[in-house]
Amino acid sequence: MTRIHISEVGPRDGLQNISRVMPLEAKKAWIAAEAAAGVPEIEVGSFVPPSLLPQMADTAELVAFAKGIEGLAVAVLVPNFKGAERAIAAGSQKMSLPFSMSETHSLKNVRKDHTVVLAEIRAIAELVTAQPQAMRPHFEVGLATAFGCTIEGPVDEDNVVRLAAAAMEAGAAEVGLSDTTGYANPAQVKRLVRRVKGEVGADRLNTLHLHNTRGLGLANALAGLEEGITTLDASLGGLGGCPFAPGASGNIVTEDLIFMLEAMGCQTGVDLEKLMKVRSIIAEALSGEPLYGFIPDAGLPLGFAQVAA
Amino acid sequence: MTRIHISEVGPRDGLQNISRVMPLEAKKAWIAAEAAAGVPEIEVGSFVPPSLLPQMADTAELVAFAKGIEGLAVAVLVPNFKGAERAIAAGSQKMSLPFSMSETHSLKNVRKDHTVVLAEIRAIAELVTAQPQAMRPHFEVGLATAFGCTIEGPVDEDNVVRLAAAAMEAGAAEVGLSDTTGYANPAQVKRLVRRVKGEVGADRLNTLHLHNTRGLGLANALAGLEEGITTLDASLGGLGGCPFAPGASGNIVTEDLIFMLEAMGCQTGVDLEKLMKVRSIIAEALSGEPLYGFIPDAGLPLGFAQVAA
């Protein structure tokens, strides 16, 4: 039976895309409840300047809190070297740096071209290596806009493959592929996963980060699984829906993804009934915020038997 | 390049699931516009007694109208022998009889057990054969509730395979697999398509009829494609959403399906921009009725180039 690792990114990707700030206690309750439902990894926040994203100002406290939860891998996003310093100081176990495959997007978002980002990856990798073993987070580089860019349009696949190799050469422990813009389609996912794995090594690309902007999120996840992807990012309730697509969640919805995986006979370790109850924590803390997902409304099929978590 | 045949079932499956009756002229405008966008087959209605489904009372007129559209295959649903007689008299080119794999569902819906339905399939097949060549519709049996039943729960796959063979033996030209209840998952789709094709012949199962009740509709479509499915039913705007799942379309949404297929490099012959404009006909004729779909809200990716229809 295939084991699929779910990384919940709602507390980071979901919350950073809505303007309200979720209170720290509610975030803790969310993280604790989702870990108790069996989710093995949670991206609890981002080490961006609080002046830019006040929603993420409590990330260090969340890392400390989440590290107290037995068996949970505590992940964070870091936008740059300074963020990585803070992530390491906080004791994060995994950190992801987004590296935009569209140079226009990179320049616009973080004012850095590819060469500058690669130098930063190298500096962060050296910083990680300089830590005592117990303080070294797993350092992943997320290849953002890998399937297309809202500014550039199509993104050259040869370039993605080349930049994936460059990120690894600069010292990343692994790369992930991110459909930041919701542009991906299943054929492209298969092709790019295959090509990047072929370049960096099959065990150095494990993760897909998918958005559901155009409704293909789960089909893209399936395509990734078929090419050996073993980790999928998802967001509870699809929190942080796409402003350009009123009915569309942001990230793929954790509940629906786990339903698909468990129905297919994959093992996620997540108890779906327990997971669905976690939605009420978000609904209470962010009253009126739209939550997405099909399975919470439709319910599980009659006689659906989840493989024991 | 793979050619995928789209069968629009909205005028039948969509409209029969909402209580309002769409005026005949609006139905004609819808069918004409969708055919003009390149959709090669439309299920225009159902030959059920008008006392049961007044929404379908004008099916014979729609068949006559649609047959006047160059290049369009005109399909209808028939619930029984009497419906088949009417379908043939109207000049339908394709007719589908739903055969529920769940006997409980069959007894409840049409008050017939499997033996009785098989006898009816045989009688219809004989009726078809007795027609002059030009008046013989293509007779498909749709294996309904093939992926699970809201009354029985899981449906035995051995039984589906056996009943598919029995339907063919009784004289059906082909069988299709229908996820009537939105219970299917991609692994099950692959397994059942493979098994039924293995039993009845690869070219005797071409069609999947999928619902999106639990959000897996497009992932299931992808799974079907990978097993050699070449015809997919879909409904424009996902008309006739699932009453048990407020945000869920009924059938998979034609617009999103075609976007996925064209993005993957499959050829549908449908012009997506033209297709999306057809939604306004439904929106005007059935004001306030919810329409679904991601791509109409999110828009096509920047630089998205559709293969020439």
Q: Are the beta carbons of A263 and B187 separated by less than 8 Å?
A: yes
Confidence of residue B244 (pLDDT cuts 50, 70, 90): low
Total domains in the fold of chain B: 1
Chain A residue with CA closest to B219: the answer is: A219
Cβ separation A153–B299 shorter than 8 A: no
Q: How many Å apart are CA A221 and CA A224, to the nearest integer?
A: 5
pLDDT tens per residue, range B265-285:
999 999 999 999 999 999 999
**Residues B34, B298: Cα–Cα separation, whole Å:** 21
Q: Give me B22's structure tokens.
A: 């769409």
Q: Is residue A108 part of a domain?
A: yes
Residue B309 has pLDDT above 60, yes or no: no
Q: Is B305 among the domain residues?
A: no
Q: Could you read off the pLDDT of A255-282 as tens digits, one per residue?
A: 999 999 999 999 999 999 999 999 999 9
Amino acid at A18: I
Question: Domain for residue A305, yes or no?
Answer: no
Q: Do A223 and B222 touch (CB under 8 A)?
A: yes
Is A20 contained in some domain?
Answer: yes
**A216 near B218, Cβ under 8 Å?**
yes
- pLDDT for the residue numbered A307: 64
Chain B: residue nearest A302 by CA?
A: B153
Kindly name the residue from A223, A234, A242, A278 that is annotated as catalytic.
Answer: A242
Residue A185 in domain = yes
| A–B CB contacts, 8 A cutoff, strictly below | 142
Cα gap B52→B96, rounded to integer Å: 18
> Which residue range(s) make up the domain with A220?
5-298
Contacts A265 to B, Cβ<8 Å = 187
Residue A304 lies in a domain: no
pLDDT band at B21 (very low <50, low <70, confident <90, very high): very high
Confidence label for B109 from pLDDT (cuts 50, 70 and 90): confident
CB within 8 Å of A53: residues ≥ 6 apart: A16, A46
Asked if this assembly's ipTM is beyond 0.85, the reply is yes
Identify the pLDDT of residue B307.
64
pTM metric for this prediction = 0.97
Phi/psi of residue A182, each to 5°? 70, 35
- Helix (H) / strand (E) element for A143: namely strand A138-144
pLDDT digits (tens, 9 = 90+) for B116-129: 999 999 999 999 99
**With an 8 Å Cβ cutoff, are B265 and A154 in contact?**
no
Q: How far is the CA of A109 from the CAs of A99, A181, B308, in angstroms?
A: 10, 14, 35
Q: What is the pLDDT of residue A240?
A: 85
In a domain, B191, yes or no: yes
Q: Are A225 and A4 in contact (CB under 8 A)?
A: yes
Evaluate whether residue B192 is within a structural domain: yes
pLDDT band at B93 (very low <50, low <70, confident <90, very high): very high
Determine the residue of chain A that is closest to B155 in CA distance.
A303
Q: Which of residues 90-109 of B touch A (CB under 8 A)?
A: none
Q: Does B186 touch chain A (CB under 8 A)?
A: yes
* A303 reaches B (C-beta below 8 A): yes
Scored b (16 or more CB within 10 A) or e, B176-208 reads: bbbbbbbbbbbbbbbebbebbbebbeeebbbbb
* Residue B148 contacts A, CB cutoff 8 Å: yes
Question: B264-284 burial string, b = 16+ CB within 10 Å, else e?
Answer: bebebbbbbeebbebbebbee
pLDDT band at B247 (very low <50, low <70, confident <90, very high): confident
Spatial distance between the Cα atoms of B212 and B235, rounded to a whole number of angstroms: 11
DSSP state for residue A14 in the 8-state scheme:
I
A149 is catalytic: no
CATH of the domain at B36: 3.20.20.70
Q: Which residues make Cβ contacts (< 8 Å) with residue B242, sequence separation at least 6? A: A298, B182, B211, B213, B248, B249, B250
The answer to whether residue B240 scores a pLDDT higher than 90 is no
> How far is the alpha carbon of A103 from chain B, nearest alpha carbon, in Å?
16
Q: How far is CA B37 from the centre of its chain?
A: 18
Mean pLDDT by 10 residues, chain A (309 residues): 95 94 98 98 97 96 98 97 98 98 93 98 98 96 96 96 98 97 97 98 98 97 98 96 74 98 97 97 96 94 79
Q: Are strands B138-144 and B94-100 parallel, antiparallel or unpaired?
A: parallel
pLDDT given at position A248 = 73
